[in-house]
Amino acid sequence: MTGVPMLSLAIVLPVLGAFLLLFIGNRDGSKDALIRNLTLAVSLVTFGVTLALWAGFDQSPAAESFQFVERQPWIPTFGIEYFLGIDGLSLMLIVLTGFLTPIALLTSWESIETKVKEFSILMLVLEAAMIGVFCSLDLFLFYIFWDILLVPMYFLIGIWGYDQRVYAAIKFILYTLAGSVLMLIAIIGLSWMHHAATGEYSFDVLKLYALDIPYSTQYWFFLAFALAFAIKVPLFPFHTWLPDAHVQAPTPGSVILAGVLLKMGGYGLIRFAYPLFPEAAAYFSPMIATLAVIAIIYGALVAMVQPDMKKLVAYSSVSHMGFVVLGITAMNVQGVQGASYQMLAHGVSTGGLFALVGMMSDRRHTRAISDYGGIKKVMPKLTAAFLLITLASVGLPGMNGFIGEFLIMLGAFKWDPRFVVGAGLGVILSAVYMLWMFQRVFYGPVTNDKNKNLPDLSVREWAIIGPLIAMSIFMGVFPNVFLKPMEPAVTRIVERVQAHQPASARLENGELRPGNPAPAAVRIPTGGN
């Protein structure tokens, strides 16, 4: 490429920024403003780097499968390498990370008042680790980034969160860790298998793809990987850490958690679990898809009855991420494309919802739906923004949520139409709980006197929500801008997985049913809302 190690740059920039902050003395809080500006600047430059990656990315199908590759021996005795590279899928998630971090930082400007320096350092370390996760092609390196980022998140929730923060923080870290250590055993096992087959250790994913793993081993290794990712996604019934973590996390933490961290689960399934263990994946897919459909419906039903806005949005994440998993289990181009797209869309719209809920609770110090009502008259601008993001989240055609869900259902239909029935129900329910909440919070008379004189969106808040709204609409109208770079990557992975699966397991895929109206028909009720 150009000679500049762009991926390393994207990882190192935030770390350097964090390092710089270490040397700013701020015990009395007098330099808070400087630190905030500096951190924002660093994250914006990092975003610039991720955009430069996109600009330099060769999207043609003939291009190299992994670009911007960097490869350095790290622990040569065990074949561990500092091996980075991105395909379209990782590129998009990295750009998402770069896009959401400055927004999350902006949401912190008023909600985080103590220990601003430490907060900023942790956010930057978190960003670096997230980018690292998405571009590591060495499993050992991937695992390291995957584990590192638990630590800053743990502190973000535990120090700056709400009342139950310590419980939520520990639950978050233990759940995620419990899943990922078993994956570590499987990773180690893979390296030994590579050693047995070729005489040398390797954690290189591309080499491990080529490994011929017996089915009995795949079975266990797939379970270990899938558990780690299912907890992260989170898939029902491994989701219970999520509502706690989300509700207790400070707004910027929630934005990053929902926007990026959950996507690592989906990414891991697509990048590692399925292509590494295709036969086992074929065996488990129907079970995982069933769990995904349960997650979609269960998440929606639980969201519907939440009295707390933040918890509602958290459960809606369970439901939306269920779609992602469903798309992945379908393992055809539409399904995986849809899942990838849904991850981006969910990052933008749920990030937006958490930001908006955060703005409201900054003003009123409550997140209970019943404490609001008639807010439309008091804060019309915020209401408009909230409505737009809500519509994006429920999947109104023309906005970002629609494309992903539609593709996922298309893919799932090609695989097994039964799953689509449940998923379609979830789409309807999502409209119900979101719009019902919207109605209770924003319409009707102002019943609570404390709500009478709330200031509307400030310039800073526009800077947070403006880009998110713009992106929601842009993604809905021009999905190809995002789908096209991902397409070669997705096609490669799907072909790889399908090539290894018994033909009988995939019979349905032969029968494309173009123009089948079923998914569109399911959409109609929501579109009408």
Partner 1 sequence: MFSNSFDAVIPVICVTLAALVVMLAEAFRGRGERMPLGGLAIIGLVGAAAASVLLWNRNATSFGVMTADNFSIFVNLVIITVGIMTVVVSSQTIERDNLPAGEYYATLLFAIVGMMLMAQATDLLLIFLALETMSIAVYVLTGIRREFVQSTEAAFKYFLLGAFASSFFLYGVAFLFGVTGSTNLERVGSVIAAQSMSGNPMILLGVGLLLVGFAFKVAAVPFHMWSPDAYEGAPAVVTGFMSTGVKAAAVAAFARVFLSALEPMVTDWAPVLWVIAALTMVVGTVVGVAQTSLKRMLAYSSIAHGGYLLLGIIAGGDVGKASILFYLAAYALTNLGAFGVIALLGTRERANDDLRDYAGLWHSHPALATLMTMFLLSLGGFPPTAGFIAKWYVFSAAVGAGYYGLAIIGVLSSVVSVFFYLRIVVMMFMSERDARPVPPPITAVAMAGLAISLAGVLYLGVLPARVLDWAQASVGTIF
Q: Cβ 503 to partner 1, closest distance in Å?
A: 32
Residue 195 beta carbon to partner 1: minimum distance, rounded to whole angstroms: 8
| Least distance in angstroms from the C-beta of 47 to partner 1 | 25
| Nearest to partner 1 of 154, 225 (CB atom) | 154
- For partner 1, the closer CB: 154 or 406: 154
Q: Which is nearer to partner 1, 149 or 420 (CB)?
A: 149
The burial class, CB within 10 Å (0-12 / 13-18 / 19+), for 491 is middle
182 versus 368: smaller Cβ distance to partner 1: 182
Amino acid symbol at 483: L
Coil, helix or strand at residue 28? coil
Q: Which is nearer to partner 1, 166 or 521 (CB)?
A: 166
Cβ burial of 505 (10 Å; 0-12, 13-18, 19+) is middle
CB of 165 to partner 1, least distance (A): 7
Question: Nearest distance from residue 189's CB to partner 1, in Å?
Answer: 5
CA 260 from centroid of its chain's CA atoms: 4
Closer to partner 1 by CB, 132 or 327: give it.
132
Tabulate helix, strand, coil % of the chain (nearest 5). 75, 5, 20
Note whether 485 and 88 are within 8 A (CB).
yes
Pairing of strands 80-86, 67-75: antiparallel
Smaller CB distance to partner 1: residue 192 or 443? 192
Closest contact distance (angstroms) between CB of 216 and partner 1 is 12
Tell me which residue of 139, 241, 240, 228 sits closest to 178, measured CA to CA: 228
Angle at 228 between CA 142 and CA 300, to 5 degrees: 125
Residue 207 Cβ vs partner 1, minimum distance, rounded to whole Å: 17
For residue 161, give Cα distances in angstroms to 172, 247, 377, 458.
Answer: 13, 8, 30, 23
Angstrom CA distances, 211 to 85, 214, 361, stand at 20, 9, 52
Which residues are at the interface with partner 1 (CB under 8 A)?
73-78, 140, 143-144, 147-148, 150-151, 154-155, 158-159, 165-166, 169-170, 173-174, 177-178, 181-182, 184-185, 188-189, 191-192, 195
Nearer to partner 1, 93 or 122 (CB): 122
Distance CA 401, CA 320 (A): 9
Q: Which is nearer to partner 1, 4 or 178 (CB)?
A: 178
Residue 247 Cβ, how far from partner 1 at the closest point, in Å?
17
Q: How far is CA 389 from the centre of its chain?
A: 17
**What is the residue type of 75?**
I
CA distance 213 to 514: 36
Residue 314: CB minimum distance to partner 1, A: 21
